[in-house]
Amino acid sequence: MKNILIVTGGSGGHVVPSTTLYEHLKNKFSVNIVSDLRGSKFINSKKFKYELIDVPNLFLNPYLLPINIFKYFLSVFKSISFIKKNKINILISTGGYMTFPFCLAAFILKKKIFLFEPNSVLGRSNRFALKFSTKIICYDKHVKNFPVKYNSKKIIVEPILKREIYDLKKNSINLEKKIKKILIIGGSQGASFFDSNITNLIIEISKKHELEVTQQISNNNNLLSIKSKYDNSNINYKFIEFTNDSYELYNGIDLAITRGGASTLSELSFLNIPFVSIPLPSAKDNHQFYNSEYYYKKNCCWLINQSKFETDKFIKMIFEIFNNNQDYNEKINNLEKITKKNTWNNINNNIIEIIDEN
């Protein structure tokens, strides 16, 4: 039996796919997960066993650069030791700076390296590791910043979703639904912009439509203030935190307001939930915008540039979404078209075949 090591860390966008890959591979291979401290908060320790590593961010603090460089090279030697000790045959990296020492160690030890890139822009760590990787698994065949000379390494798959997502009921067209259920989710990095701007907009929208709101609050200091506003407006609401097990939040949702994280957009799309995407402007290489644009070009969502956000226009757009059934229904139909081939068995067979054959 082959021994596989999945290396992940950082944001939920890196970690969520790693646990899903684990679920796909665990019955065929011996699988281990390694994560950093930041990423560990998105791993359910009751379901997944993982090792914790510490890889410094070289450029986070310029004054500590010499020390961090030393620690970084030390982490490469630790990675070599880990791979040897656990007799790892194959390494899978889900990206992020903390995965690179393991990729380098696997290259030194002549192990197979598979990269995973769910975004529509090639991540920087994956870009560095691409030259000595075996294959790179992607969702978008037109990944930006991808070197043409490595196109033969690219393997396109349907989005890899958590097993529980497939058990949820998909959204369907219901023109007579009186209460509109809205999900506001900022992803693993939160969205303070949503706390302030979207909250006030929901209050305005509730004056003409009866709403049920499920909202992720990024800053707990804002929770009491938002609660008071919703109570005064008689809005039915539930506050949530982002976790890897957030799939139950999607039940009955009619419309989502979200950032542009690849995992969240993939889950919403699979469940036929039309969404308004407001990508995080500071996301590296603007990857959240391009993730969202992928669906926007297929007429599956609405896309808003945060820097050009205007309250009145947004309210008008939401009213139009609820009142224009044709546009909303087209979004649902288009989402269904692009996700119809995505089943757990299809993905499972595909992933195992990719790992086993290369």
What the chain holds in terms of domains, given with CATH numbers, is: 3-161+342-357 (3.40.50.2000), 165-339 (3.40.50.2000)
The answer to whether residue 311 scores a pLDDT higher than 70 is: yes
- How many C-beta neighbours within 10 Å does residue 203 have? 17
Interatomic CA distance for residues 116 and 90, integer angstroms: 13
Interatomic CA distance for residues 313 and 178, integer angstroms: 23
The string of pLDDT tens digits covering residues 256-265 is 999 999 999 9
The string of pLDDT tens digits covering residues 65-121 is 677 777 778 888 899 999 999 999 999 999 888 898 999 999 999 999 999 999 999
Interatomic CA distance for residues 198 and 205, integer angstroms: 10
Query: Residues with Cβ < 8 Å from 290, sequence gap 6 or more?
Result: 119, 120, 121, 144, 260
Q: What is the mean pLDDT of the chain?
A: 89
- For CA atoms 215, 220, 221, 225, give the dihedral sign: positive
pLDDT at position 106: 96
The count of residues in the chain is 358
The string of pLDDT tens digits covering residues 312-322 is 899 899 988 88
With 0-12 CB in 10 A as exposed, 13-18 as middle and 19+ as buried, what is 316?
exposed
Cβ–Cβ under 8 Å, residues 143 and 154: yes
Helix (H) or strand (E) holding 47, with range, is none
Interatomic CA distance for residues 297 and 223, integer angstroms: 35
Q: Identify any residues that bridge with 113 across adjacent strands, giving them in sequence order.
A: 91
The string of pLDDT tens digits covering residues 150-181 is 999 999 999 999 999 999 988 877 656 788 89
Interatomic CA distance for residues 3 and 15, integer angstroms: 20
- For CA atoms 21, 24, 29, 31, give the dihedral sign: positive
